[in-house]
Amino acid sequence: MTQVPVRRESGIPDGFSLWADPWRWNPIRDLEAIIDRMWRMPPAYRLADGFTPAVDVEETDDAYTFEVELPGVRKEDVSIEVGERELHITGKMMEKKRTGVLRQQMRHTGTFDYRTTLPPGIDPDRAEAHFDSGVLTVRIPKTEAGQRRKVEIS
């Protein structure tokens, strides 16, 4: 048996808006009130400063490559730790010294932190990193056992 969708009338009179009635629930108004209360909280209760940079992760047959966008960051301000099961990249993006009045700021400044779990079958001792044009590239090779192999069908 095929079911056919049925349109039912809402029962709301013409010209009446759910958003205009101050006594009805308004999710936008509630969200604005939550955000307003959050910014009035003492700094100790706010989330810690910092951000996670944009990262592209690529898997090839022999390695995992992480490309991290870090414009304006010096390589001396970046720390990379590779363990058996985790990659952890931290550092800080310094704010540019300005002579005028900053009217708008969209770029992140401060500390950054990127942490991810690595799959089994990697070789952390052979990990390598290089920094070029604001992009940090971390390459973590796979072990022989972790590499993909093509299997012929007999």
Domain ranges of the chain: 55-100+107-141
Question: Where do we find the tokens 């730790």?
Answer: 81
pLDDT for the residue numbered 132: 93
33 band by pLDDT with thresholds 50, 70 and 90:
confident
Nearest to 77 by CA among 109, 48, 47, 31: 109
pLDDT in tens, 130-139: 999 999 999 9
Fold of 55-100+107-141: Immunoglobulin-like (2.60.40)
The answer to whether residue 63 scores a pLDDT higher than 90 is: yes
Report the DSSP beta bridge partners of residue 92: 111
End-to-end CA distance of the chain: 47
pTM of the model: 0.63
Q: Which residues contact 137 (CB under 8 A, 6 or more apart)?
A: 65, 66, 67, 68, 129, 130, 131
45 band by pLDDT with thresholds 50, 70 and 90:
very low
pLDDT for the residue numbered 9: 53
Q: Which residues contact 94 (CB under 8 A, 6 or more apart)?
A: 72, 73, 77, 109
What phi and psi values does residue 24 have, to the nearest 5 degrees? -90, 160
109 band by pLDDT with thresholds 50, 70 and 90:
confident
**112 in Cβ contact with 53 (< 8 Å):** yes
> Mean pLDDT for the chain?
80
